[in-house]
Amino acid sequence: MTSFEDRERAFENKFALDEALMFKAEARACKLFGLWLSEQMDMSAEEAGEFASDLITANLEEPGFDDVKRAAAPKMLEKGFALSEEDVDAKLQELFVEAQQQIKNEAA
């Protein structure tokens, strides 16, 4: 195997690892967001777990968090909990950064 092939394989492996970590971080951020929202809406522990799981599943529909926001909106409306889209985006971004850090710490 040539040096070029070795570098190419290493790059492909790193890309695959980065993608897997990104997927895990997005899923973790959705879970954290669901649990945070549940707490804000005074949901029971059982409801919170189910809601967080629903948001993780919703995130599989498309890239980004728009699918998560759409999935969370009905429950927020039902519970009378209002957040601006900017606040939701900011919280998701904050939790995504936190999720990435958690995953990095677990890997270390």
d(CA 40, CA 61): 25
Domains observed in the chain? 22-107 (1.10.790)
Q: What confidence category does residue 16 fall into, taking pLDDT thresholds of 50, 70 and 90? A: low
d(CA 6, CA 8): 5
pTM (predicted TM-score):
0.84
d(CA 26, CA 15): 16
List, in order, residues 6 or more apart from 100 with CB less than 8 Å away: 21, 25
pLDDT in tens, 64-94: 899 999 999 999 999 999 999 999 999 999 9
CB atoms within 10 A of CB 58: 19
